[in-house]
Each structure stands twice: as C-alpha cells, then as structure tokens.
Amino acid sequence: MAEKTYKIAWLPGDGIGVDVLDATKIVLDKLQLNAEYLHGDIGWEFWQKEGDAFPARTIELLKNVDAAMFGAITSKPVKAAEQELVPELQGKGLIYRSPIVRMRQMFDLYICLRPCKAYAGNLLNYKDDVDIVVFRENTEDLYSGVEFNPVPQELAEMLTRLSKPFAAFKDVPLNELAISSKIVTRQGSERIIRAAFEFARKNNRKKVTVVHKANVVRATEGMFLDIAKEIHQEYPEIEMDDANVDAICMWLLKNPKNYDVIVATNMFGDIISDLVAQMVGGLGFGCSGNIGLKLGVFEPSHGSAPKYAGQYKVNPIATVLSAKMMLDWLGETEKGARLEKAVAEVIKEGKIRTYDMGGSNTTLELGEAIAAKL
C-alpha cells in the first residue's frame, strides 16, 4: 500500500514564529515525512489588513488537514489593537481576540499538552531529571471571551440582585468596571482530567497533581478539584495529589522530583507551563500540542518575542520538539523517536547553541545541526 501523504497546515504567524518554523521545516524535510505543507495566514498582519487575525480561509484550511504546525502570533492588548485598526472602533467593546485562543475553542482542541524534559547536558537545566508533563485545559476558564468593559447596565443590575459580594462595586461607574468571566464546565473538566490520568496510565507515570485555587475560587476551581477526586477512583494504580497554584510555584522549584503529571484549568496551566519550561532550559525548550478528537495543532509554548523577530537568533528546539509531538500524534512514532534522539544529541554535544543556550549560532544552524543527526 502506498504511504499516506499527510496534509499539514503550516501557520508561521508573525514575529519569531516565522524563524522557528523555518528551522523546523529543515528537520521535517530531512526526516522525509511524506507530507504536503499548506501555508495558512494568521496573526497581527491580517488583523491590520483585513480586520481578522484568523481569516475564514485559514479556518477552512484547518478543516481539511491531518495536523498543523503553528509558530506564534502577536496579541496586543485590546485597546491598542482597536486603535491601530480604525479609530472608530474605539469604545465598541472588546473586538480583537487572540486567534490561537479562537482556534483552540473553534476546533475543540481541549488538551494543551506540554511535556518538559531535562535533556542530559543542557547547561540550562534547573535540576537534572526534571520530567514533568503539564495538561492544561484549553477551551474554557478565563479565556472564554465572555468579558465586559464597560459593564452593561443589565448585567450590573443582575449581579446586584444575585451576588452579595457585588455590592462592594455598586458605586463604581460602569465604564470603570471590567469583568472577565471564568467559565468552567463539568464536561470540560472531566475530559482534561481524564486525559491526564489516561496519559499517566499509558506511560507508566506514577502521579497526577491537580493544580487549583479551590479554597478561594470555590465555584470553578472547587468543582475542578471535586471532579478530579471522582475520576481518580477510576485509576487506583495512580497516585493523585493536589496543590494550590501559588504553593506549587514554590514546591516545583523546591522539590521538582515530586512532580510527574500536572493537570490544571486553562489560566493556571498556562502559567505553570512557562515555569516548568524554564526548569528545563527556558521557553526555547517548551514544546506544546493543542489536541482535540479530530485535529492536533502543535506549537512552541512561547510567543512571538517581537524584539527578536526576523533575526533568526532564537532557539527552535521548542518547535522542533513540538513537531516530534505531531509525529507521535500522527502515529509516526519511529520518526518521532528519531527526531527526539537527534535533538538530545545536539543538546548533549553543546557545539551548536543559540543565544539563550550561551552560543551565537542562528536558529537555522541549530535546525541544520538537528537535521544532520537524522
């Protein structure tokens, strides 16, 4: 039977997203993945040109591919975004929304999977042997987009009726009041928590740590923790513990070996994953997959780092390791394993290093060095 030709959407975005995807292409070409790479427009440039950072043609493209590689996009604070497009949009509410957040919600990419492994010989490792996998819920929580500034009169009236603590804000002018909703569902919580336990079971991981703030944010975080305790019953062979998000920032640095798989709601998972990425060398090593039932979109955890854009200076390893995650997700595990081995070798040798690794090689030179090991 002829080998399958994968259709891969190729979404560099802007800033260093372009640089790191260029390096990743060198590696995938060397691996001879049988794939057609289809460019998609996304990011700030298209917001400015077309008023849409995630154009309909890119959405269509994503409906017709096996997987996608994404670089990064610049998401500016909404007020600045409105101003730069057309001054008339000012005061019209919160119009600009990050396209990657929209993509995760639109395609129901509910798992944000972020493995952080300390590769041997990486001088940037915080401590050796860190091997933590973060499961971040990817579609709900503070990213729901249900936000108000100014707050509509009807909403303020309703909150005054329904919520005692809201009385504290009753004299604040509505245009000086802002509300961002933290929306969490049972279904959304169950599926991310179950994904974390399933991963632990399949990969012989010993423990799942639930990160939350259940003591203060009782409705959403409290429900998330309760659901985790229920689901844990289905996985008796795996240990479960839990920690407040603030405390775990301290515990992770103090005793990183105590952590194995971590699961959290969207915002806390976002924050924790940058912290854990720094423990294994920084954002230049933080790989990530946005995974749903039908589509996987793989990207580095980092953003567009505008100050380094177009300089081919930043580290492509986070993106190359995200491509490895894509290969595994596609079932190309042999190629995935080869790619990870090549990355590990280049790190261990320490000859080709980008600026963050203490070297002066370019993004593309590091990509070529990895390709040369394949």
Alpha carbon 210 to its chain centroid, in Å, reads: 18
The site partner of 43 among Mg ion, ligand NAI, none (C-beta below 5 to 8 Å per kind) is none
Active site residue 254: no
| 202 is known as an active-site residue | no
State the binding partner of 315 from Mg ion, ligand NAI, none, CB within 5 to 8 A by kind: ligand NAI
Compare residues 98 and 362 and give the one whose CB is closer to Mg ion. 98
CB 51, min distance to Mg ion, A: 25
Burial 334-357 (b: 16+ CB within 10 A, else e): ebbebbbebbbbbbeeeebbbbbb
> Under the criterion CB under 5 A, does residue 137 sit at the interface with Mg ion?
no
Q: Is 126 annotated in the active site?
A: no
Q: Which of 124, 122, 118 is nearest to 349 (CA)?
A: 122
Please say which residue, 242 or 356, places its beta carbon nearer to ligand NAI.
Answer: 356
Q: Which residue in the list 25, 117, 213, 335 is annotated as catalytic?
A: 213
Packing angle of the helix pair 363-372, 16-31 (nearest 10 deg): 10
**Amino acid present at 271:** I
Sort 32 into a burial class: Cβ within 10 Å, 0-12 / 13-18 / 19+.
exposed
Cis peptide before 152 (omega within 30 of 0): no
Footprint of Mg ion on residues 244-303 (CB under 5 A)? 270
- The least distance separating Mg ion from the CB of residue 273, rounded to whole angstroms, comes to 6
**Residue placing its CB nearer to ligand NAI in the complex, 44 or 197:** 44
Measured in residues, the chain has a length of 374
Question: How near is the Cβ of 301 to Mg ion at its closest, in Å?
Answer: 6
Which residue among 127, 129, 246, 341 is the active-site one? 246
> Residue 118 binds which entry of ligand NAI, Mg ion, none, with Cβ cut-offs from 5 to 8 Å by kind?
none
Give residue number: closest CB to ligand NAI. 303
Which of 44, 109, 122 has the alpha carbon at shortest distance from 286? 122
- 246 catalytic, yes or no? yes
In one letter, which amino acid is 29? Answer: D
Residue 270 contact partner, candidates ligand NAI, Mg ion, none, CB within 5 to 8 A by sort of partner: Mg ion
Residue 69 or 318: which CB sits closer to ligand NAI? 318
Residues found near ligand NAI in the complex (CB under 6 A):
20, 72-76, 100, 283-284, 299, 302-307, 314-315, 318, 356
Q: CA distances (Å), 337 to each of 118, 194, 296, 346, in order?
A: 16, 25, 18, 14
* Contact present, 17 and 70 (Cβ < 8 Å): yes
Contact footprint for Mg ion (CB under 5 A)? 270
Catalytic residues: 143, 213, 246, 270
